[in-house]
Amino acid sequence: MRVLVLAVGRMKSVESELAARYLKRAAQAGRNIGLRSIEIVEIKESRAADVERRKLEESIALANVIPESATLVLLDERGESLGSGAFAERLAQWRDGGQSAVVFLIGGADGLAENLRAKSRATLSFGNATWPHQ
């Protein structure tokens, strides 16, 4: 199964180095459990003045890189909070269920358009705090 993290915004150099280190570790561990690739794709932030227009433009850009028939998972502070074991079990269920790809979506500062929310299979949270999107 392919795992993608699609995020609005660009990482800085220090964040990129840290992400690369964790991607390498995840790829090594992932091969042993049937994850064939793990990728991060960064989407440029919209510069539109209107909030709804920004969300729409960013969501369109994200939608353009989502593989067909992928399982979509939104990362949002209002989502379900899972421990590490439960998160691993959920990934295993998708993998064992024949999913070709799981895509984790991280919206911009204004969030995601409703069309992407409607297509998602799950909404997960890494806690109540809002972190920089990178």
Count of CB atoms situated within 10 Å of the CB of 54: 21
pTM: 0.89
**Whole-angstrom distance, CA of residue 18 vs CA of residue 25:** 11
* Residue bearing tokens 């969300």: 55
What is the arithmetic mean of pLDDT over 62-82? Answer: 93
What number of residues does the chain have? 134
* Residue bearing tokens 């992932």: 30
- pLDDT at position 45 over 90: yes
Beta-carbon contacts of residue 105 (< 8 Å; ≥ 6 apart): 6, 7, 62, 72, 73, 74, 75, 112, 116, 120
What phi and psi values does residue 2 have, to the nearest 5 degrees? Answer: -95, 140
Q: Summarize pLDDT for 18-30 with one digit per residue, the tens.
A: 888 988 888 888 8
Q: Summarize pLDDT for 92-101 with one digit per residue, the tens.
A: 999 999 999 9
Give residue 120's pLDDT band: very low, low, confident or very high (50, 70, 90).
Answer: very high
Q: Summarize pLDDT for 74-88 with one digit per residue, the tens.
A: 998 889 999 999 999
Record the tokens describing residue 119, joined without a space: 């297509």
**Whole-angstrom distance, CA of residue 100 vs CA of residue 122:** 16
Amino acid at 104: F
